[in-house]
Amino acid sequence: MTSSPFGRTVCAMVTPFTPDGELDLDGAQRLADHLVGAGGCDGLVLSGTTGEAPTTTDAEKSALVRAVAEAIGGRARITAGVGSSDTRHTIALARAAESAGAHGVLVVTPYYSRPPQEDVEEHFRTVADAVGVPVMLYDIPGRTGTRIEPETILRLAEHPRIAGVKDCAYDLLGSSKVIAGSGLAYYSGVEELILPLRAVGGVGCVSTVANVAGPAVAAVLDAYDRDDTAEATRRHQRLLPLVTAMMAGGLPGTVTAKALLGALGLPGGPVRAPLRAAAPDRVKELLAACEAAVGP
C-alpha cells in the first residue's frame, strides 16, 4: 500500500462552536483527542466541507489548527483545508496553516469561476510551490463545477509536494488509472466507496461518518488489509444504513454529524447559517442508525 503523510482513517472533523455560534477551541481539542483515541482515526482534516470552512474566518481556521495540534501532538496527522476560488488567498491560507502546525494541506479545485484544466493545474502547482508541507488535491466536481481530469492529476503527481487526492469524483475508472500511473495516495471522500477504492489501490478515506463511527470505518480497512475480504464486506454493509442516514437523507453531513455528536455527548455545537440544525425526530433516526452501525 502506498504510504502517505495524511494518515489512513482520516476524519473530516466538524468545527465545534459554542451555543452562541463562536469558535469553541476547547471543544475542538476535546473532540480531536477523542477522535484520535477512542475514535479510531490516525488523521484529521480541519476546515473542510464538513468543517464549515465557508463560514469560518481565516483567523478562526488558523486558531483551530493551533488548538488541535496542541491537543493531539504527534498522535495523528493534521491536514488543513485551505482551498478557495482565489489562488493568492489559497496560498495565504496554506502558509498560515503550515505555520500553525498543520502537517499537510487540502486544496480544492477553484469553484464558481470554472477555470479550464491548464489553469486548474497551474493553480495547484502554484500553491504547492508556496508551501513546505504535502498537498492533498480535493476533486469534488459536484460542488466546484470543475473536475480535476485524470490526465491533469497525473501531471500534477510529478510535483514533489503533491502527495494525495481526496476523491469525490465518482469515477473509479479514472481513479484507478491515476493510482496505477502515479504514486499518489488516494483517499475516498465518498463513504460508500471507501472499500471499492481501497480494492483498486486507494490508501484510505477522508470520512464525515468517522466523526461518530471512526472505529467502524477503520474496521472496514483493517479487515481488507489482513486479506479478510468477506469481513471487510460485512463491515462495509453494516455501515451503509448510517452512511445513508448521514449522507443521503437530504441533510448535509455537517448537520447530521453535529446532531449525532450532540446526542452522544461529544463537542460539536450548532451549525452556522445558512445551515440549520436537524429536527428532533431526525436526530432520533440518526442515533438509531449509529447505534446499529457501531456494534461488533
Residue among 216, 296, 212 at smallest CA distance from 261:
212
Contact 224, 168 (CB under 8 A): no
Residue 168 lies in a domain: yes
pLDDT band for position 150 (50/70/90)?
very high
pLDDT of residue 4: 81
pLDDT of residue 216: 97
Q: What is the rounded average pLDDT of the residues 221-250?
A: 97
**Helix (H) or strand (E) run with residue 120 in it:** helix 117-130
Residue 252 lies in a domain: no
pTM: 0.97
Q: How many domains does the chain have?
A: 1
pLDDT score of 246 more than 50: yes
- How far is the C-alpha of 130 from the C-alpha of 109, rounded, in Å? 17
Mean pLDDT for the chain overall: 96
Q: What is the rounded average pLDDT of the residues 270-291?
A: 97
The residue count for the chain: 296
Per-residue pLDDT tens for 54-67? Answer: 999 999 999 999 99
Residue among 279, 258, 272 at smallest CA distance from 290:
258
Residue 293 lies in a domain: no
Residue 25 lies in a domain: yes
- How far is the C-alpha of 25 from the C-alpha of 45, rounded, in Å? 16
Residue 148 lies in a domain: yes
Residue among 137, 85, 140 at smallest CA distance from 106:
137
Which positions are catalytic?
138, 166
C-alpha cell, 179: 493510482
Q: What is the rounded average pLDDT of the residues 170-181?
A: 97
Per-residue pLDDT tens for 41-95? Answer: 999 999 999 999 999 999 999 999 999 999 998 999 999 999 999 999 999 999 9
Burial class (CB in 10 A: 0-12, 13-18, 19+), 295: exposed
| CATH number of 133's domain | 3.20.20.70
Residue 50 lies in a domain: yes
- How far is the C-alpha of 127 from the C-alpha of 232, rounded, in Å? 37
Residues 6+ apart with CB under 8 A from 82: 47, 61, 90, 93, 94, 97, 105, 106, 107, 127
Q: What is the rounded average pLDDT of the residues 216-241?
A: 97
Residue 52 lies in a domain: yes
User: Within 13 Å and on the Cβ side, how many CA atoms surround 120?
Assistant: 27
- How far is the C-alpha of 280 from the C-alpha of 259, rounded, in Å? 9
Backbone angles phi, psi at 81, to 5 degrees: -70, 125
Q: How many CB atoms within 10 Å of residue 141?
A: 17
Per-residue pLDDT tens for 182-192? Answer: 999 999 999 99
Residue 119 lies in a domain: yes
Residues spanned by the domain of 187: 9-217
